[in-house]
Structure 1
């Protein structure tokens, strides 16, 4: 290996690590607020990329029908509570958002020549389809069992992952897809040739991380999520709704996952089950951060990306084994240094 190859591998590692860092941050956020180890995080990556590919092919993405079905179920559940509490105005609001929004989205996708629209508009349509699935997932699946032990939440999370992989095969088929790059530009930086798409990935990841930091530091909803992550019982006593915190957290996780899928779709071919492996590598970064520290999780995810890139050069057949083996010494070190804390009842 010479210096130029090392630079190329480092560039690939940082590009992949930027995506893994976003997913690691989402996993830490979801666990801190809801105690859910969010295994389906990677599925939002696949759904975002493949939904964009279907839009660019001129078709109606099948995920929009999943959004409509989930919205109908959520509207039925919430409507029953609204009618019992005699809040007809809330009934109209719930039906309008959960059912009217997907129907309006379907109408736009049918009416507009989506394949001919600018790429930015196509990306916005893909995000508009996939991101609302996050809060709907929380409302339908995790909110009813929010007080369950972590092990039960983990089992349900695995079940949701398996279901989403099966639905992905049904919606998108077994063939992979790759979208056009955001930019065809290439820049020379000494011995390196940096593509415009690589710059898009790294810069978008940094911008999103900074935006999340500003959200948590300067907005009321962000501070509410921070309070819930620090002390769930205390946050409830202060009037912060656990249901609202859960839905907002899953919204952010779905946004991060779908946007990550959109960013990497021009770089690698995405299949219906690709997101699981990508999400696992983000999970390794989250474990390095102890599912608690955002900066350490992001740094760990970048380390995972760099380790993966160099492993693919030295032992490409075993690169996944090498990456996931990293979690063993981390868990051992944390088990020796940490202290056992009983779970809240």
Structure 2
């Protein structure tokens, strides 16, 4: 704060009043202090006297996940929390909701609380805004999606290969009229899963120009509506690859509503709760969110303990779980 005050040409108390949004500060002074704070990459230290300890740590981590509504994010959260608790550290968690503005707001809120490290799922086109924090030595580990604009540790699934595995499974059962239902293409994992799907079709000699690729489906209802529209077309698919668990749930609802769940094959990317209890059971390419969260948390603590090795990209394998829906043969004539 003293450095900000010196650069802005004001007193420390004035800086404090601006940071805390107190009244009776001129617009010109606010502008000077804000510009100085931005130049110095200053983050106000909330309750620093109460939070800081002798070793300079706050015993907290910041965790940003896609959405607490999604079981994948919940499993990552639990794994991170289990590791953190074993180190005597608390976890502040927030949902991204795939909103770039929300991403930066949440990250900056973590930093104002001087968390010791960050574990982040992100959606912005670039995470270069974190470069100053990396220079300060704050451990930052990305989960599920890799960073852009900076180099940092990341723990991810092999999304393209997992999608290719699902597609190959359907092709091997004789399907040639496949459809892809995916999340918003702005999301890195969605792009990778679409790529894996289309590349596998190409390797099998299936003309991808004739394959329905429906994207921008971010919840159950949009996926349900898209699936119903598919079956209103003259040549509906005999098999569907759904590339996100909430999308898969929407597809399941639509197939059952249409009475097509016994004659349309379905493979989903990522497991869904009670998927094994459906009839037929849901075939999935399963990720391992618990392992992703565990590795990410252990990486943060290794960095805090002095590991200065180059940033690493850790790939957690996916696996195909056959339960019945992905093993349905093509319909007669299809």
TM-score, normalisation: structure 2: 0.26
- Bigger relative contact order, structure 1 or 2, given CA contacts below 8 A and separation 6+? 1
Greater percentage in strand: 2
Bigger radius of gyration among the two: 2
- Quick check: which one's helix share is greater? 1
